[in-house]
A and B are shown apart, each in its own frame.
Chain A
Amino acid sequence: MNISQFNSPQILSGSVSIVPGNTAMVTLNEMASRSRRWLRLNQMNVSLFVDSMKVGQEIQLGAGRPIGSLVNIRAHSSRFSLMREYMRVWLLGPRTHYDAEFLSNYTTILGSPISINTNALNVGPFESYRLQFAKPFYLPVGDTYSCQLSADASLSTYITTSVTAEVSVQAVVLSKDEQKKAEKQVAEEGNPIPFLSQFNPFEASFVAGLTATGYAKSSNLELANPFLSPLYIKRLNGRQKLSTLGSDLTSTSANTRIKIADSRRVVCDLTDFRNVFNTSTASWLIESVLDGKKSDQQQDYLTAELYTANISSYCPEISMVGYRMEQV
């Protein structure tokens, strides 16, 4: 009996250093399957870390602006784009453990700040995020999976050189029998290709320190289904950057609010942000669908209205995570 009769787990991975204001690509070779069998992709893990900080800036980055809120990712297979545009890394998925995802060397497990310990001076945090695909999807033989990453220019305020991003995909090399089943499924029903998009309207004003009430409504582009087939929405994620210490977990829901609608009303009135995306997961398992069949000219889309009491203090942003069935 040989192990190749069975599905075999595999990790695809690659890493890059990104200078603030620039983009970098995780090379295709490193993220490609070397197998002559189909791959089934289950989950993407992204870890971010900085080894050298500008003196005195550690706590600004760690507590108020996690690196995951300043680094962006765009993933695609060689045939399909998985994202409408660059996505905030921390908007990829729900938070499972706060202390596992983001725990810098100067915050406690609850996110409240402690003073910078001289031991940790000048060394930035290590953060990990994950995108669990709404449905595992298939990468046929010869296809590749790759990622581009970018870092906001404002990151240069805090770090001396670059941020390191390592991307990995938990995959399965399909056995001969499993591949036959997968080929049949893809031919009949389609391949469940992930699709993510985001809405973060206050970023520029937040970085500029604009002291004002903020209100923004998404257009028919940001949270839309751009396909002619249905887009199945698994979840919505909601995060918020803060100018003061404490990061995303600090209770500021009264200061940030959200209202959501599609063709129906979803969140009827401006509601506390953390009542929609709860504190422990920063996410809402919505299990909905944008059917993509309104007309040839009109896309199906969600409309989100975001409110912040003070743009310079609270910067909410949301993402939509789903998949569509693509015939290969």
Chain B
Amino acid sequence: MSVIPSWASAPLVMHSETTVQPNSDAEFSAGPLTNSTGEAVYIYEVKFSIRPTDKVIASSTGSGKLVSGGQFAISMAIKDQDDFGYSLTNNPVPIWSLGSPHNLKEEIININLQSVGSADRLSALAHNHWKPDHPIYMPPGARFVPTVRSLGAFGSEAIVGISLVCGVTPSAPMKDRYKLPWVGAYLSSSFEYNATGSDSSADNLLANPHNKNVFVERFVGRIHCLNEVLLNGVTFQSLRDDAGDASSVGVSGNNWYSRAFRVKMQDSAGNVLVRRSTLFRNVFCSSTRTWECKTVLPPQQYFNVDVEKSVLPTMTQTIGRSTRAQVSVAMIGWREVSWRKE
């Protein structure tokens, strides 16, 4: 069954960009993400693009950084003209944790290897997209309010773009209830390559703080690897998923951390979701990075994640291997809200 309403009509894409500094938040200008059509709009897909501003490496001995959706987190809300509205996120969510990756190698890094000194040399771009389980309703005049946070692993200025793929629905009558996404995320501590350790999620992260049920569709689990890659004499820092990058070069430690991270999970009502300390990759299926759990999280309840990191096999060099890693677990769900204010 299609999720697109039968009365959907004109397609519409709204786009905005912002520049974000390391360890900082940045807002997007409201105008481009405002529903100024005078009609109801449904958002079917949210797309992200990330690129560094210092892409030019002038010499072959410099260093640089490659971007990914794991280095930036997003908060989202929808507000109407009276500033009444709803949050879509409980806390900043790593951009690549919003949904199952369709193609890991395309979402992370695209390196353009040009000659030394070329203005285009070693430019990088990351793309991620999120298809909500139910189209997001935007009343006429409402605005989409995202805030992006640079999580610190990317130590330079970056430009983050957000595009809303929508449909304008002129004849759509206002309904009593709308299904709106609700997403929470936990980002673990960062662990050194040779270190053991553990970490647990706080109670307020994978939570339902509302007074109505949240319908949880899936968990998305990602392993964030801070990597050093040697490309033609240039050392690049990147934060990537644990399964390779698109460079086909310098890949020497793929899936290293998949064998090191284990996880347990339970909820606040005492249900044990993952009893035995289980390989992170076996909980969040390797090929999809997700656990399609389909459950209900009642009001004021939450999930807890306990992460364990073990020692990895010895590697003799540091260039080309991930020096440290952390995991993220996102809870992707939805709840019902009303836009009627009477």
- Are A8 and B258 in contact (CB-based, < 8 A)? no
Q: A106 to B320, alpha carbons, bound, how many Å?
A: 12
- Are A119 and B320 in contact (CB-based, < 8 A)? yes
Contact with B along A29-62 (1 / 0, CB 8 A): 0100010000000110111010110000000000
Chain A residues with CB under 8 A of B258: 47, 49, 126, 128
Q: A128 to B320, alpha carbons, bound, how many Å?
A: 23
Interface: B298 (CB within 8 A): yes
- Are B282 and A45 in contact (CB-based, < 8 A)? yes
Chain B residues with CB under 8 A of A122: 313
Chain A residues with CB under 8 A of B320: 117, 119
Contact with A along B264-307 (1 / 0, CB 8 A): 01011101111110110111011111011111111101000000
Q: A51 to B259, alpha carbons, bound, how many Å?
A: 9
Please choose the segment from B5-13, B75-83, B101-109, B122-130 that sits at the chain A interface, where 4 or more of its residues have CB less than 8 A away: B101-109
Across the two chains, which residue of chain A brings its CB closest to B245? Answer: A109
- Are B273 and A9 in contact (CB-based, < 8 A)? yes
Interface: B315 (CB within 8 A): yes
A105-B254, A119-B316 known; A11-B278 Cβ under 8 A: yes
Interface: A172 (CB within 8 A): yes
A4-B271, A119-B321, A128-B287 known; A103-B243 Cβ under 8 A: yes
- Are B254 and A8 in contact (CB-based, < 8 A)? no
A9-B293, A47-B258 known; A119-B244 Cβ under 8 A: no
Q: A238 to B13, alpha carbons, bound, how many Å?
A: 41
Of the candidates B274, B288, B293, the one having the most CB atoms from chain A within 10 angstroms of its own CB is B293
Query: What is the minimal beta-carbon distance from B261 to any residue of chain A, in angstroms?
Result: 11
- Are A172 and B294 in contact (CB-based, < 8 A)? yes
Please choose the segment from A92-100, A205-213, A227-235, A306-314 that sits at the chain B interface, where 4 or more of its residues have CB less than 8 A away: A92-100
Interface size class of A (residues with CB under 8 A): 35 or more
Number of interface residues of B (CB under 8 A): 54
- Are B101 and A105 in contact (CB-based, < 8 A)? no
> Of B265, B269, B283, which one neighbours A168 at CB under 8 angstroms?
B283
Query: What is the minimal beta-carbon distance from B5 to any residue of chain A, in angstroms?
Result: 28
Chain A residues with CB under 8 A of B269: 2-4
Across the two chains, which residue of chain A brings its CB closest to B275? Answer: A34
- Are A108 and B276 in contact (CB-based, < 8 A)? no
Across the two chains, which residue of chain A brings its CB closest to B299? Answer: A1
Of the candidates B101, B265, B295, the one having the most CB atoms from chain A within 10 angstroms of its own CB is B295
Chain A residues with CB under 8 A of B292: 42-43, 170
Query: What is the minimal beta-carbon distance from B284 to any residue of chain A, in angstroms?
Result: 9
Interface: A187 (CB within 8 A): no
Chain B residues with CB under 8 A of A4: 269, 271
Query: What is the minimal beta-carbon distance from B174 to any residue of chain A, in angstroms?
Result: 28
Chain A residues with CB under 8 A of B103: 97
Q: A45 to B281, alpha carbons, bound, how many Å?
A: 9
Which residues of A approach B to under 8 Å, CB–CB?
Answer: 1-11, 13-15, 30, 34, 42-43, 45-47, 49, 51-52, 95-97, 99-101, 103-106, 108-110, 114, 117-123, 125-130, 164, 166-168, 170, 172-173
A-B contact pairs, 21 of them (CB 8 A): A2-B298, A3-B297, A3-B298, A6-B296, A10-B273, A11-B265, A11-B273, A47-B286, A96-B288, A100-B287, A103-B244, A105-B251, A105-B254, A109-B105, A110-B248, A117-B252, A120-B252, A126-B281, A128-B282, A130-B287, A173-B271
Given contacts A9-B273, A15-B279, A100-B243, 15 further A-B pairs with CB under 8 A are A3-B271, A6-B298, A13-B279, A43-B285, A47-B286, A49-B259, A97-B243, A99-B243, A105-B255, A109-B244, A110-B248, A119-B319, A120-B315, A125-B255, A173-B271
Question: What 5 pairs between A and B have smallest CB-CB spacing?
Answer: A128-B286, A96-B287, A9-B293, A3-B269, A117-B252
